[in-house]
Amino acid sequence: MRGDEQGSDGADCTQSIPAGCRRNGQGNTSSLIIPPSRVTLEGSLQRVFPQSKSKSMNKLTATLFASFALACSVTQAQTPSADASLGISKTKPASGPFVEFEGVYMVPYVHTIERSNISFEMIPIPGGEVIVGSPAAEEGRTEDEGPQFTVQVPPFWMAKTELTWGEYKTFMRNYDLFKRLRAENIRLVDESNKADAVTVPTPLYDPSHTYEHGEDNLQPAVTMTQFAAKQYTKWLSGITKVQYRLPTEAEWEYAARAGSKTAYSFGNDATELEKYATFTDNASNGASKVGTKLPNAFGLHDMHGNVWEWTIDQFTPDGYGDRGGKKLSWQDSIGWPTQPDSRAARGGGWEDSAERLRSAARLGSVDEDWKSEDPNVPLSPWWYTSDPARMVGMRLVRSAKDLPKEVIGRFWDADNEGIDEDVQFRLREGRGAIGLPVPELIPEFQKRQ
């Protein structure tokens, strides 16, 4: 029996692309070229916690220093001008990918988690139009991929690769941290700050299932629920003070297509897929390390295959319904969840056939099946226990402009009373952990040293 908890997670490139992004110079129907960036980490990382003058620290101090100093430092993926801020250059970059937006230039950047070797790179994606879904004649098409509709997508950043175990485990470690902080009565969550609080995944009851195909720091993290993925983005946003979130289905498909209208970002020939994807034809034993296959024209790796990736949308098995045939803004295109189940994932996984890796292909979660081996009652809001969940992970995005609090909150928090009730039940039973992102704890922590 398995559970989650201990105690009593050649393409047709005619899509609309704005100015400011380089093309390959082959005419009006050429593909957008944003070459994959080469990242150089430069300079020293500032410590979040000052060196203690005392030779001994209390147990809480040791825990924080050893495992939970998680504020992020930032390095531009190219040498920025002096007036560049996070992912923004006020002057046109001399080289590398960039997106011109409102008089500035969006550029790649890297966040490195302090006191670790774990980092992630964000790539700028230009704004433009995408036709969501597949045409009726596309080979392998399923009913849930239509009717097609058009979405105007503003610029955003997207993670170059899927979220890794190295990244997700830094989040998982907060379970012990939050428990200890509560025991020490430090920065408790109350009515004044609960809007900023996050819940963290409980320890895996049977790690051998989740990690059967590997837990290397560079392999994609899997089996987290969509709620847990949302909480990860809220936590990361809290410690970095940068708004990260899950993509919408329209954003994800736009980024995956990278200007194409074909079944795959590189064309319709599935025999080329092995160059770009880990899937049933070439997977040896589970997912590959991220970024080992060729990127698409936007410089994004593993948009086809390796693992499915969560989006924010509700999965609709009968298709896109009344959105069909319309032209919508990116926010109006979102299928905000109204039921506990199911949620939409995109991209295909390592055990899937080629047709499931098409840019328009969708997967809907089925909680009852995906948690069928979970012995907990109610079932975990953070972890899945059963396949195909070992092929479901996530990828980060960031809007070009911060979203209003009431909008970003929908990307971060429970979207259904049932999910929220399950979380609250676990917290009352002492089988869950809730706390505030680490930077909010630093002033109190420093006073106690």
pLDDT greater at residue 217 or residue 23: 217
Q: Under CATH, which architecture does the 125-448 domain have? A: Alpha-Beta Complex (3.90)
Instruction: Give the pLDDT score at 83.
Output: 34
Rounded to the nearest integer, the mean pLDDT of the chain is: 83
* Contact by Cβ (8 Å): 254, 128: yes
pLDDT for 235-262, tens place per residue? 999 988 899 999 999 999 999 999 999 9
Other CB atoms within 10 A of residue 93 CB: 18
pLDDT for 305-338, tens place per residue? 999 999 999 999 999 999 999 999 999 999 999 9
Pick the range with the lowest mean pLDDT from 105-109, 137-141, 175-179: 175-179
| Total-model pTM | 0.83
Strand-pair partners of 198: 435
What are the φ and ψ backbone dihedral angles of 73, each rounded to 5 degrees?
-100, 160
Instruction: Give the pLDDT score at 446.
Output: 47
Q: For residue 361, give both structure tokens.
A: 């292909």
Say if residue 47's pLDDT is above 50: no
The fraction of the chain above a pLDDT of 70, given in percent, is 78
pLDDT for 79-121, tens place per residue? 333 334 889 999 999 999 999 999 999 999 998 876 668 899 9
Q: d(Cα 202, Cα 423) in Å, to the nearest integer?
A: 11
Pick the range with the lowest mean pLDDT from 12-16, 188-192, 362-366, 423-427: 12-16
pLDDT for 419-434, tens place per residue? 999 999 999 988 889 9
Instruction: Give the pLDDT score at 438.
Output: 66
Say if residue 195's pLDDT is above 80: yes
What are the residue boundaries of the structural domains of the chain, listed by start?
A: 125-448
Instruction: Give the pLDDT score at 444.
Output: 53
Band (214; pLDDT cuts 50, 70, 90): confident
Instruction: Give the pLDDT score at 126.
Output: 98
- 383-418 burial code (b ≥16 CB/10 A, e <16): bbbbbbbbbbbbbbbbbbeeeeeeebeebbbbbeee
pLDDT greater at residue 141 or residue 213: 141
Instruction: Give the pLDDT score at 131.
Output: 98
Q: For residue 407, give both structure tokens.
A: 């909008």
Instruction: Give the pLDDT score at 80.
Output: 34
Band (205; pLDDT cuts 50, 70, 90): confident
Strand 327-329, strand 149-153: pairing: parallel
